[in-house]
Amino acid sequence: MKILANRAIELLAIGLILAPNMMADEEKLSLTLRSRTKSAPEKVVEKKVNWEAGKTALIICDMWDDHWCKSAARRVGEMAGPMNEMVNAAREKGVFIIHAPSSVVSFYDKTPQRKLAKAAPFSKSPVPLSVKERWGTNWCWPDPKYEGVLPIDDSDMGCSCKGEKCEIREAWTRQIKTIELVKGDALTDNGQETWNLLAERKIDNVILCGVHLNMCVLGRPFGIRQMVKLGKNVALMRDMTDTMYNPERPPGVDHFTGTDLVINHVEQYWCPSFTSADLVGGKPFRFKEDERK
């Protein structure tokens, strides 16, 4: 018995010696953050940062299984595989993954990921969370105190299909299967639950990816506007997003240039961006239909 007790003390001592070193080795995310200033948006500013992976969350916005716009659904399908690889890489480094398929979280009621989100203890946010509603969740509308007018006209909801336009309907039932839910991930579309999860883990940094940038990635209660207002270090993964933009509407540029304009808007008014290549190496993701040089 005494031998066992001594052995236990010995192991504890080894643990105490090793622990600080392990802390020092904690994984860092080396990111090149791109931003613009409000006064000189043409000028790109790049800054290298090392974010502690353990203090970082990655939120996957509205990567649904289907969409009322066929083109939008096709692009999500194309992006989902590379996104899943990126999510796996981020998780392996110690980033906390939050799946946020808005308005279809009830599909996941019995999953450990949904239960984890519901179980996070209540934490009071430093500023009130948005209570206005849109499309099944609370919503942060464009805020003139922070930002100028969006650079693309999405008032027709942005079907980018050529010829006949898609009919608007609730087409989604869950997150696209390609993106795996893993033990330790959480799943929510709720602002308070998101805040609780971040507070419980003392998370300072929030990365947003998913769709659509001009709508949900900015406006959802876990999206860019809300996270910036809550004081988080926020960054957009700019190659893992898309917009709802119909090139027939102003400013009359092709769909992918339209997305780039919204990315510039985010960099100018809200938060910096980086690409998935910073996490997985190789080249940033690019849609096949993007024929620009």
Whether the ω angle into residue 128 lies within 30 degrees of 0, i.e. cis, is: no
Q: Is 8 exposed, middle or buried (0-12, 13-18, 19+ CB in 10 A)?
A: exposed
Binding segment for Zn ion (CB under 5 A), chosen from 39-47, 119-127, 164-172, 225-233, is 164-172
Binding segment for Zn ion (CB under 5 A), chosen from 11-19, 157-165, 209-217, 251-259, is 157-165
Question: Shortest Cβ distance from residue 86 to Zn ion (Å)?
Answer: 26
DSSP state of 71: H
Q: Which one, 140 or 159, has the nearer CB to Zn ion?
A: 159
Complete DSSP assignment for 107-150: GGTTSHHHHHHHHSPP---SSPPP--EETTEE-----TTT----
What gap in Å lies between CA 203 and CA 252, rounded to an integer? 40
Question: Shortest Cβ distance from residue 167 to Zn ion (Å)?
Answer: 9
Question: Shortest Cβ distance from residue 66 to Zn ion (Å)?
Answer: 12
What gap in Å lies between CA 253 and CA 246, rounded to an integer? 9
Q: Which one, 118 or 165, has the nearer CB to Zn ion?
A: 165
Q: Which one, 75 or 232, has the nearer CB to Zn ion?
A: 75
Complete DSSP assignment for 214-251: IIIIHHSTTSHHHHHHTT-EEEEEEEEE-----TTSTT
Q: Report the DSSP beta bridge partners of residue 273.
A: 34, 236
Site string for Zn ion, 109-148 (x = CB under 5 A): ----------------------------------------
- 71 contacts Zn ion (rule: CB under 5 A): yes
> Scanning residues 31 to 70, which ones bind Zn ion (CB under 5 A)?
69-70
Interface pick for Zn ion out of 14, 19, 44, 161 (rule CB under 5 A): 161
First to last CA, the chain: 73
Binding segment for Zn ion (CB under 5 A), chosen from 25-33, 58-66, 159-167, 206-214, is 159-167
Residue 76's H or E segment, with its range, is helix 70-93
Q: How far is CA 24 from the centre of its chain?
A: 27
Whether the ω angle into residue 212 lies within 30 degrees of 0, i.e. cis, is: yes
Helices H / strands E in the chain, number of each: 8, 10
Q: Which one, 52 or 78, has the nearer CB to Zn ion?
A: 78
Binding segment for Zn ion (CB under 5 A), chosen from 166-174, 206-214, 236-244, 268-276, is 166-174
Question: Shortest Cβ distance from residue 249 to Zn ion (Å)?
Answer: 13
Binding segment for Zn ion (CB under 5 A), chosen from 31-39, 165-173, 221-229, 255-263, is 165-173
Residue type present at position 222: F
Query: Which stretches of the chain bind Zn ion, using CB under 5 A?
Result: 69-71, 159, 161, 166
